[in-house]
Homo-oligomer: A and B are copies of this chain.
Amino acid sequence: MAIDHVGAGRTGRRDAILRAAADLFAARGFHGVSIEELGRAVGTSGPALYRHFPGKEALLAAMLLDISERLAADGAAHVAAAHSPEDALDRLLRGHIAFALGEPALITVHDRELGNVPEPQRRRVRRLQRGYVEQWVDVLARLRPGVSAEELRAAVHATFGLLNSTPHSAGRLPSGRMADLLLAMGRAALLASARPGG
């Protein structure tokens, strides 16, 4: 009974709000969800939320910052643990796939709602996102020298689109098979993209 997983425990309210908000934002968009609704989703009503966040936009900012930081940190750890570029790419792919399959709502919000984050923190999220992309680009550049960085960046973005599409086809395939499928597709797409003269 250490942690209350429906989110109504005496502590952890803040995290419960973030989790519920991720699901709601992913389903109906930032502007499609009201404060009252967010409160009800965690068993309180409406304005209790302001005891944990200064406002609705700040809540979104906290959510996106957390996601971006986790992705960037995990990415750095994966690259550091690898002993070859091939291995690094594999670890990056597996890590991202695990995240996308484990937290489809977070992934969805992450690439849809940046525009609603207010400006001071928006810049930080962008910087983290750029850093994460650059980790992929660096690994890919070592695997396929001679391909322009712009082309590699575009390929990485496209691969993220592939991996993040998980929420749209959720539940159709068992999670393990889906992970294998995405790994095979992602790897093939990245290597095809990076083949000079492709």
- Residue numbers of A with Cβ under 8 A of B are 27-32, 111-112, 115-116, 150-151, 153-155, 157-166, 168-169, 172-173, 177-178, 180-182, 184-193, 195, 198
Contact A193 B198 (CB under 8 A): no
Contact B185 A158 (CB under 8 A): yes
A192 and chain B: residue at smallest CB distance: B188
Q: Which residues of B contact A158 (CB under 8 A)?
A: 162-163, 165-166, 169, 181-182, 185
A162 and B192 alpha carbons, distance in the complex (Å) = 13
Contact B186 A188 (CB under 8 A): no
Copies of this chain present: 2
Contact B31 A29 (CB under 8 A): yes
Q: Which residues of B contact A186 (CB under 8 A)?
A: 189
CB distance from A198 to the nearest CB of B (A): 5
A162 and chain B: residue at smallest CB distance: B162
A188 and chain B: residue at smallest CB distance: B192
- In the A-B complex, the 5 residue pairs with the closest CB atoms: A161-B165, A188-B192, A31-B31, A157-B169, A162-B162
Contact A185 B189 (CB under 8 A): yes
Q: Which residues of B contact A150 (CB under 8 A)?
A: 172-173
Picked from B27, B160, B168, the residue with its CB within 8 Å of the CB of A157 is B168
